[in-house]
Structure 1
């Protein structure tokens, strides 16, 4: 094994949002420098990264400059152009992790589902959509409602439209720009996720988290999930199977449905650190961001062991229109010993925009999850962006 030293190498990251910011924060103690590429000058990650290249996510000249300054490239946003990354990697010799081929698979939800189904990963019934008749046919086969999804570009529930009846098919299809697919609607007990890590020759999974959404946006993650031991074991098994399909090192956010019958079905995959894994910063022995830095560099992975039960609650914009971002009444968070505030450095707040998060961790391994959840909700409700 190669002897590792610090100060270490440089990681080039396409994207400089909150994920890039927290990745740079986690890489710094390891002696790893991070250079970002992002089109927004002084992006959220800029204050904690070594440097920023101001360029679009598909700007080949900018990505070539990034590759020239880095030992490995990665991305924190799926808008990274997979073809450009592949070309630049081949020409420069700078590896990309996860691989651009994985980004291609993830980029199109229909391609993603087909490849995973072919690999034996359990997924809800689905089909491609060319016209409204395909939606009506799916309702006839799967029952109503069904979930219509944009194949590309959707996140935080954007591009996902429930279709309640055949009469709604035309309007639903018009609301989804571009190619679409349709899935049967899963009557789930809870939504869960596994943050999984693919290293050089090892894999690791964090404890399963339970995700609470409202308006298709993640509001809270409860760890450990309030699931049975059998469901937990099955979720980890499915996550391991997913990693077999993915090509390249790094962290993968694997979103799952726990059905009322106790089955586990794959929802979607993010080939990067994921919002539902932010709890790991305080709640696990090593965070998902540290793990991503280790993995893309080919370094040994850290421990994913749970320190203590932990709650994540997102701080979303509670405003009616865009305005300067300023979070008020944070005193209670700072005064609570088990609470931690994370601010993402975004200058403008918009309705329901993710601006930061709070974690609340237990003091012991058997801390009461329900009490922690109540405490986290109380803290979140006390802060506001309204003036």
Structure 2
């Protein structure tokens, strides 16, 4: 199939920042793009050939959108899988497949998948209701503290909470959930695996993630991770095992814990471009967004090596500010060597909302980390 400067149409479900950055690569190759998103102000709207407003969870909306394109992908997992299954049955190429998405959408099903395939992960139990969870705690089947996760609908730290006392436990929403054992860990790591339909597979270097303690969001992504080579190779091997069992096409971001004993436990995965790969736009020979495009179109995968050390700093709305966004001190951070800001195009800010990111590249990882800290302390996302 001729994808370039032709009648070929790529459909993207979701019009957020991940889709916007993917569109940059489609523009480079002159590939037609259709985007579906529920918001008239979706960041993707300015960069695609055709924009459609609609509910990503509505069967008819997703099905009718998908019938207009040749290949369909997504930048968010919260989409109608039944519609994707119907489209795939009728000959539309859907990557990653509905089968893969079905295994990942529900965090309980995802954890069961790891257990079934003997993929190391933290101990957990599933619960259908809050009452079941409370009873399990009262009967000492679950010991506090533990990590509570909603099985569906979580994103950017939402739907995850550390439960340390009865007050927090009783304030949780009454939804299907998992209770996960607290893992004593040194680092939170991630590996992005790329795979095309022909079976070519490549992994990006292991990255290290530093989280905001309150919002449970990534503040910094550091590549390469500052870990021992043996641990790094173990993480990449486990990520490849996860990828093999999911049998996905496209990107699969595998988030992991490095325990105190240097074991690797899989936390969760995302079958799409991921926050942990944003550094690759400036720091890698092939960005994660170009790689996703190469993978779903069954093109040769690109070089995943880094040109230099890369650090990504998330730009999120400051606490106490909601309304029309104002970015303070961008001019100051742009005076720093190796700094590139990415603004997502969201007009409204609110506390901890992802509004952009900044990439820092440098030959010296420690110098890059120092500059990243300066960026974090300088720029402000307010209203």
Q: Give me the TM-score of the superposition, normalised by structure 2.
A: 0.93
Instruction: Give the alignment partner of residue 209 of structure 2, picking from 208, 211, 232.
Output: 211
Question: Secondary structure of 1:375's match?
Answer: helix
Where does residue 11 of structure 1 map in the other structure? 10
Moved more, 33-42 or 255-264: 33-42
Question: Secondary structure of 1:231's match?
Answer: helix
| 1:126 is aligned to 2:124 | yes
Aligned CA distance change for structure 1 residues 180 and 173 (closer, same or farther; 3 Å): farther
Instruction: Give the alignment partner of residue 196 of structure 1, picking from 193, 197, 207.
Output: 193
What is the count of residue pairs matched by the alignment?
375
Gaps spanning 5+ residues in structure 1: where? none
Aligned CA distance change for structure 1 residues 177 and 283 (closer, same or farther; 3 Å): farther
Q: Deviations over 1:351-374 (max 9, x none)?
A: 111100000001xxxx32122111
Q: CA deviation at 1:156?
A: 1.8
1:177-256 equivalences under 5 Å are 177-200=174-197, 201-214=199-212, 215=214, 216-256=216-256
- Contact 2:312/2:359 (8 A) holds in 1: yes
- Structure 1 distance, partners of 2:183, 2:123, is 9
Aligned CA distance change for structure 1 residues 315 and 242 (closer, same or farther; 3 Å): same
1:105-124 equivalences under 5 Å are 105-124=103-122
- Structure 2 distance, partners of 1:102, 1:330, is 40
Q: Deviations over 1:189-228 (max 9, x none)?
A: 0101001111121111100110000121111001100111
Where does residue 274 of structure 1 map in the other structure? 274
Where does residue 53 of structure 1 map in the other structure? 52
Q: CA deviation at 1:336?
A: 2.8
Gaps spanning 5+ residues in structure 2: where? none
Q: CA deviation at 1:311?
A: 0.6
Where does residue 348 of structure 2 map in the other structure? 348
| 1:146 is aligned to 2:168 | no
Instruction: Give the alignment partner of residue 380 of structure 1, picking from 364, 372, 376.
Output: 376
Q: CA deviation at 1:324?
A: 0.5
- Structure 2 distance, partners of 1:263, 1:49, is 43
Moved more, 210-219 or 79-88: 79-88
Question: Secondary structure of 1:335's match?
Answer: coil
Question: Secondary structure of 2:329's match?
Answer: coil
- Contact 1:99/1:247 (8 A) holds in 2: no
Q: Deviations over 1:52-82 (max 9, x none)?
A: 1111102333323432332111111111111
Where does residue 28 of structure 2 map in the other structure? 29
Q: Deviations over 1:252-294 (max 9, x none)?
A: 1110000011000000101111111101101111111111111
Runs of 4+ in 1 over 6 A off after TM superposition: none
- Contact 2:108/2:126 (8 A) holds in 1: yes
- Structure 2 distance, partners of 1:231, 1:323, is 44
Question: Secondary structure of 2:356's match?
Answer: strand
Where does residue 88 of structure 1 map in the other structure? 87
- Contact 2:25/2:289 (8 A) holds in 1: yes
- Contact 2:322/2:382 (8 A) holds in 1: no
| 1:370 is aligned to 2:369 | no
